[in-house]
Amino acid sequence: MPRPIEALIHAPALAHNLARARACAADAKVWAVVKANAYGHGIAAAYEGLRGADGFALLDFAEAEQLRQLGWRGPILLLEGAFEARDLELCSRLRLWHAVHCQEQIDWLAMHKTHEPHRVFLKMNSGMNRLGFTPSAFRAAWTRLNALPQVDEISLMTHFSDADALRFGQDGIAHQLAAFEAVTQDLPGERSLSNSAATLRHTPRVRSDWVRAGIMSYGGVPDYPEHDAAHWDLRPAMTLRSRIIGVQNLQPGDTVGYGSSFTADKPMRIGIVACGYADGYPRHCPTGTPVLVDGRRSRTVGRVSMDMLTVDLSDLPQAGFGSEVTLWGQGPKGSVLHIDEVARAGGTIGYELMCAITRRVPMHLEALG
């Protein structure tokens, strides 16, 4: 039989989370953000649950082409736009909308020969300081784009750096929103401002014709631990699970794993789980990281190794060889271990855990009912 680890992708959870984005921003259309292979869930698997979106947003042409092959005929937005001039030919062939965030991309459009003008999203750097035109340069970029016959409609976008902040103020989105609105208030075109955090926390303060449902589509919480998934009514779209493949009995003073980083201070039972950092489980998760064993909470002990990790079975006398271990996601008997809790224990974020699942982990889809 194959090694027992697997990732299960829950299409019903994806559809539910997408509906939550719609409910939060009832007057807006929704981009389902599927960059990074749908946050590690797989484009084809995620498509099953997210096809009710108004459009898909991503980075890679190969992923856009895959969506077209899956049958998607609606809008697809390239969030970083073209990377070189000839990419515009692919945009035309695949009917892609694309971001414009620098003068070089406008130069390419000006030289591009096309029968169909392009729909572009002009991006403002309102304070994130990654991509986009500064507020002082934004209107000139808009004017130049608007004069090009290669450009049809110009939409306007920006990205918030602190939409998950604790309050709507200078440490949140207010300063970026003010910068955006001051420059764009009299410009035509649809707006796309809200990411997951802004959609959940700052609607209706922010006018977005398109919201970008990224991490929330997959059941991750952008403002964890202030709020958890239950607060926002989000469901985990990925379950990483495996089984116990061995059991050891420890005496006080026995150590566990490489570096002997865990020492038993009492008699213990531990289970060895077929999951390690070569599967994408973080090596830096310390003793005490939560897991579910047959749906009941336990903890890891010792250091995560390449192919295995160890869990405490001392308070779970019925657990043993073959018991199901939920590393995150939906466990048996209605149990749930949210990915954000595991990520916090490991000093990271749920986004990274989703994206880190490696190719050797089989993925299976729980289809819509």
The pLDDT assigned to 100 comes to 98
- Tell me if 10 sits within 8 A of 38, measured CB to CB: no
Closest CA to 215 of 231, 191, 201, 195: 195
At 335, the amino acid letter reads: S
In tens, the pLDDT along 122-168 reads 999 999 999 999 999 999 999 999 999 999 999 999 999 999 875 55
Q: Sorting pLDDT into bands at 50, 70 and 90, what band is 171?
A: low
Q: Please give the full DSSP string across 117-180, using - where no structure is assigned.
A: PEEEEEEE-SSS-SSSB-HHHHHHHHHHHHT-TTEEEEEEEE--S-TTSSSSSTTTTHHHHHHH
Predicted local confidence at residue 166, as pLDDT: 56
- Average pLDDT score over residue span 331-356: 97
Q: pLDDT confidence of 1, banded at 50, 70, 90? A: confident
Average pLDDT over residues 277-282: 98
CB 47 within 8 A of CB 81: no
Q: Given this model, what pLDDT does residue 365 score?
A: 97
Beta bridge partners of 249: 269
239 DSSP assignment: E
Going by their DSSP bridges, the two strands 238-250 and 6-10 should be labelled as antiparallel
Q: Which of 107, 152, 145, 148 is nearest to 124 (CA)?
A: 145
Question: Over the stretch 202-239, which tens digit does the pLDDT of each residue have?
Answer: 988 898 999 999 999 999 999 999 999 999 999 999 99
**Segment 309-318, tens digit of pLDDT:** 999 999 999 9
| Range of weakest confidence among 29-43, 198-212, 299-313 | 198-212
Q: Crossing angle, helix 11-24 and helix 43-50, to 10 degrees? A: 50
pLDDT of 328 above 60: yes
Give me the chain's average pLDDT, please. 96
Q: How many CB atoms lie within 10 A of CB 87?
A: 18
pLDDT for position 172: 82
| Dist CA 176 CA 79 (whole Å) | 19
By percentage, how much of the chain surpasses pLDDT 90? Answer: 94
Q: Which residues contact 51 (CB under 8 A, 6 or more apart)?
A: 72
- Positions annotated as catalytic residues are 35, 258
Residue 105's SS3 state is: helix
Per-residue pLDDT, averaged over 167-184, amounts to: 82
All residues at 6 or more sequence positions from 118 whose CB lies less than 8 Å from its CB, including other chains: 88, 91, 92, 97, 98, 109, 112, 150, 151, 152
CA distances from 328 to 23, 180, 255, 296, 331 (A): 26, 38, 26, 12, 8
93: Cβ–Cβ under 8 A, 6 or more apart, which residues? none
Closest CA to 219 of 6, 5, 40: 40
> Is 232 within 8 Å of 17 (Cβ atoms)?
no
Predicted TM-score (pTM) of the model is 0.95
Question: Token pair of 314, please?
Answer: 């001392």
Q: 5 pLDDT exceeds 80?
A: yes
What's the burial of 230, exposed, middle or buried (CB within 10 Å: 0-12/13-18/19+)?
exposed
pLDDT for position 216: 98
